[in-house]
Structure formats: structure tokens, C-alpha cells
Amino acid sequence: MTTQRPHLVILGGGVAGYSAADTIRGAGFEGAVTLVSAEADLPYDRTYLSKAYLQGKKADPDVLFKPAEHYRNLGIDLHFGDPVTAVDLDQKRLTFASGEQLSFDLLLIATGAEPIRLSGPGFDLPNVLYLRSLADARALRERLERAERVLVIGAGFIGCEIAASARILEKSVVVVDPAPVPLSRAFSEEVGNAVVNIHRQHGVEWRLGRKVAELRGHGQAEEAVLDDGSRVACDLVVVGVGVRPADELFANTALKRDNGILVDEYCQTNVPGVYAVGDVANWWSPAVQHRFRLEHFDHAVHHGAAAAKVIAGDRQPYDPVPYFWSDHYDLTFEYTGYPLPWNQVVIRGDLQQPAFTAFYLKDGVIQSAVVIRRPRELRAIQRLIRAKAQLDPAQLTDPSVDLRELAKAYQQSE
């Protein structure tokens, strides 16, 4: 008697979906696997798009994770460039824009996130762009080559990375953000001001505490009118005001959603045989007993791989100390820890240089940290976070205290 091999469909060709596909065979899964993506491009590394790709240092083939034969060698079918329009979890079936249907036994949702789009006068003009996909990056790079005055709306990390790339290409850059200090809610005013200073030193002009009320021009955006009546000339507008989980396909299904699809530490949803990973998943961390929806490359890689192992039968909880990075000019911001509330910021090093570590503490316990030009401290900080170390801030600020020795001593005392 033979048993039919189960069919796993991985819905989403971003890094989380790619990582699951790349891991599944090595984890021992012998069933059929189909990787589905609305995009026509093979899975690629999005981290290049706002930096090396925009700057012309990377071409399309350079950003692909693997060529097509890699998936053939793994026995993975590809269904690309045909968006899914409907999901039937009861019948275990996907319907595509082409009308084609695909049945599955197991479903791994890795649909990622989609940019929040602004509405209002002028925001539909053709030189108002967003950056999420490789197709977006192609369009933006082509426009950026011809542009002279770039307006960036939104001073999160993606907006700052685009601003840095535009300045490296010697474009005039103005960044508009409604916050008086960008990134201050997540990373404190001290770190936000350090980011502003870095970009200001490279020639970026800031309009903080302001919103774009209207974009004006003849056939394309030529100037932005801010909410205080001031104007900014531009010939290219890039919007980066955040993303939302791409989970609307599942609005009328039994899946539980709350700022993404709810999953446990094994990447499982409330529907048997259905898993979710990456940006679209709201994941439960046993370590801190809290849910997070993370929008970072490192998380997506490891979350996708963790789900593949669970599906293949290796049921291990996914529970890392989160990490991400962001490159601005020759600087790399590294963040590690849990995006939990904090009530104290402790700075180790020099904010002006800049070369520092900013610790975010709640009642003396390190929740997270941002590291700039001090990479040797990162692993020690992760161990301290994992151990829920309660520390004297004086130890953290004292340059003579070796954080690696401190982490080792703390772990030995536990």
C-alpha cells in the first residue's frame, strides 16, 4: 500500500518563502513542494534594493538568491507572476488571477508586507514612487538616474537608506517627516538626533514636524506643499511611511488575524496544516511571553527555515533574540532585542562621532540595544538580553567594563 505524498505550497516568494523552500529538503520533507509568488522575478535579496541596487553597484542577477536550476535540483515547482486572488482553506485550494487553481495539503503563508500608500492631491503622479519589490527598484533607479531634486517622505530606516543612496549619487535630497525627531519613539531622541546629524553632514535637508499636504506639477510632481504652507521643489518623490501585513487574502477565512496572521512558536496558525512566517506573521515569543510582528530580513530568514523544519517533523520552537541592521553611507546601525516598552536609555560611547551603543532598559533590565561602530559588543548584548540581565547603568556606560566579560559573569551567576 502506498501513501500519497503531501503537497506543501509556500505562498510568497520573498526571503521568508525562499528560506523555507531552501531548507525544506534538507530538513527531510519528501512531499511535493510548490513555491508561489505574485512577482515574476525569482526570489531576491531585498536588502540591496535601497542601497547597492539603487546606486548602480548591483544588477538584477546579483540580487537573486539562487538561479532557477537550484529549485529544479531541489524538486521544487515554481508558480510565479500569477497573483493569488482567492484562498479556500476548507477545500485547500488557491485560485490565481489566470483562473488556474492549485490544491495543497499543507500551506505556508509568507506573503510579507505591502507599503502604506498616501492619498491626496498629486500623490497619483507618475514620479511618486514606493520601494518594496525589485520591479519598484527598477523604476526608482531609472527615475533616480535622471532626477536632480529628490523628496523623501518618511524618515524611517527605508526612507533614510534611500536618502543616503540619493546623496551618494549626488542628488539634492529633502526628507519630510511628521515627527520632530525621527525614530524617537522606537529608538529615543538621542539616537534619532544622531541619525539626523549623520544625514545632515552628508548634505540631506530635513523638514521635521511637517507633513506633505499636496504635490503639484504639470504631468509630474514638481513641488510639494507642506502643512505649514512652505514648498519644496522636486522632480522625484519617494514615499516610505511604513508597511502593513499582506494578509487581506485571508480576510474571509478562519485564520485569526491581529496586526498580521497569529502564529505560535512553531509557526502554526489556528488552522491545522496552515503556517505563517516573516512580515505577515504575528509571532509568539515564549522567552518574553509577548507577540511581535517583525519586518526584518534576519527574522524572515530564520522564521522561514524554522517553519520548514517543523513541517518536516523537527518540532523545535522558534524563539531568537531579534536582530536587524540598516546601512547609511559607511555606517551600519545594528539593532538587537525585543521591541518592548522601555523607561531608560543608557548611552555607551560617543553620539557625535558617532560610535556608540544605546541600551533600552525597563526597570534595569535590557530590552534591546542599537549599536553603531561597536560590533564586538553585539553578541554579549544578545546574551545579556536573553538572560534578562538586571544591570547597573554605570556598568554599561563605563568604557573599562568589558561587556563580553560582564555577560559571561552574569550567566555564570545565574
Residues whose CB falls within 8 Å of the CB of residue 83, separated by 6 or more in sequence, listed in order: 38, 96, 97
Residues 6+ away with beta carbon under 8 Å from 53: 59, 63, 137, 141
Three cell numbers, residue 87: 484562498
Q: Residue 185's pLDDT is what?
A: 86
Question: What's the rounded Cα separation, in Å, for the pair 142 and 134?
Answer: 12
Cell triple for 71: 529549485
Instruction: Give the residue among 152, 110, 104 at the shortest CA–CA distance from 128.
Output: 152
Beta bridge partners of 146: none
pTM across the whole model: 0.96
Residue 131 phi/psi, 5° resolution?
A: -130, 110
Instruction: Domains for the chain: give ranges and CATH numbers.
Output: 7-114+244-311 (3.50.50.60), 117-241 (3.50.50.60), 340-413 (3.30.390.30)
- At residue 60, the pLDDT reads 97
Alpha-carbon distance of 37 to 81, in angstroms, equals 6
- pLDDT truncated to tens, each residue of the chain (414 aa)? 345 799 999 999 999 999 999 999 999 999 999 999 999 999 999 999 999 999 999 999 999 999 999 999 999 999 999 999 999 999 999 999 999 999 999 999 999 999 999 999 999 999 999 999 999 999 999 999 999 999 999 999 999 999 999 999 999 999 999 999 999 988 999 999 999 999 999 999 999 999 999 999 999 999 999 999 999 999 999 999 999 999 999 999 999 999 999 999 999 999 999 999 999 999 999 999 999 999 999 999 999 999 999 999 999 999 999 999 999 999 999 999 999 999 999 999 999 999 999 999 999 999 999 999 999 999 999 999 999 998 899 999 999 999 998 888 876 665
Report the distance separating Cα 62 and Cα 72, nearest Å: 20
